[in-house]
Amino acid sequence: MKKSSKTGINLLIFIIVILVLALGILAIIQYGRFRDQMEEKARQEAREETEATEAPTQTPTPDPTPDPSDPEVIREQLIENLRTAIEENDVNAMTAILRYTAADGSLAAYSAEDVAEVLLHLKRDSADYWNFFTALRSESTAVGADGEAQVLILNTQDLRKMTNTARQEGASLQPETPVGDGKMVAIDAGHQAQGDSTQEPIGPGASQTKARVASGTSGCVSKVPEYQLNLTVAIKLRDELQKRGYSTYMIREDNEVNVSNAERAQLASQSGADILVRIHANGSEDSSVSGALTMAPSSSNPYVDSQVVQECQKLSQLVIDSFCAATGANNQGVYQTDEMSGLNWCTIPATLVEMGYMTNPDEDARMQTEEYQALMVQGIADGIDSYFAQ
């Protein structure tokens, strides 16, 4: 009897354990289903909320494409090209854009001389600059074609008068009161017939040295040595500045000299001159490179007084802008360098003018002509005028 009772108890315990395990498994299964239902409900609510808050997608309407044949579109493009030409001192581009109607009814271009002077004036005078562009947008200015080129046709043959740069008929090209007003300009014709490789410091107290002076490059077409071209232009610049009322000091007037770059700067500083203008021509391994630039010391130059550096940079900018306006040369701007002995040793405002590339066939040939030399001299002299006028 005792054994049977014990067996029944064990069986009861086993059944209870089985029931507990079954209930646990059932609870786990029910919890999993409940969790899946809650997650699906949350996802559904999130989708509904997103759809309720999102605005309907709209396809933007594209801006209409400008009609390139529309005269007003052409006008605006030509005006923008004209702004660029003035900014870059591109006389040729400006000349190509502007026309007037001649007496016989044909379209005529303004002279390069007129355009060069107008360009320079507009860069100096902001009021006349804006008045000029306002006139270009008025009904008095038409858009037309000259051959295959689109042009702006002005209602006047006198571009100078339109921009307040007109000369009165019969008036002298020189002002009654000389612009120079006694200011002295030292002129250095760069290089010399024989270079001197003896070393000299590049600036006061400098440990770095370089050759005292080189003979320079030469024309790839003309075969003219740079030192000769520099002297030719320097002498013509001297004559032009004297006509304008300046006094001048020439560092050299002969090719057979031996004056180092440092000595040239010191001579200019000691001469009593107000500024120094160094005349050079450029060279490049790439014969396609052309244009003009000026050189000035940088703002961190360790050899030149900071105030003089600022004046050098201002003088250089005014000279290169005027030079390119007068000649139509590509304006390569002001190159700042602290490696030029002829600038580092100078205690007065100085600039070095690279007139053009003798390694470019067209520019070399052009720089040898009397006509272009006169334009180069005019441009440099105009820049000097601008400097002393400020």
pLDDT confidence bin for 388, thresholds 50/70/90 = very high
Alpha carbons 76 and 38: distance in angstroms, whole number: 65
pTM: 0.61
- Res 41: pLDDT: 72
pLDDT confidence bin for 168, thresholds 50/70/90 = very low
State percent of the chain over pLDDT 70. 88
What pLDDT, in 10s, does the model give residues 355-380? 999 999 999 999 999 999 999 999 99
Q: Is the pLDDT of residue 71 over 90?
A: no
- Res 344: pLDDT: 98
Q: Is the pLDDT of residue 173 over 50?
A: no
E strand intervals along the chain: 98-101, 107-109, 142-146, 149-154, 184-189, 196-201, 209-213, 247-250, 275-282, 292-296, 331-336, 350-357
Q: Which domains does the chain have, with CATH numbers?
A: 71-162 (no CATH), 184-389 (3.40.630.40)
- Res 51: pLDDT: 62
Whether the CB-CB separation of 238 and 379 falls below 8 Å is answered with no
Q: What is the arithmetic mean of pLDDT over 52-71? A: 65
Whether the CB-CB separation of 152 and 141 falls below 8 Å is answered with yes
Tell me the average pLDDT of the chain. 87
What pLDDT, in 10s, does the model give residues 207-234? 999 999 998 999 999 999 999 999 999 9
pLDDT confidence bin for 171, thresholds 50/70/90 = very low
pLDDT confidence bin for 8, thresholds 50/70/90 = confident
pLDDT confidence bin for 322, thresholds 50/70/90 = very high
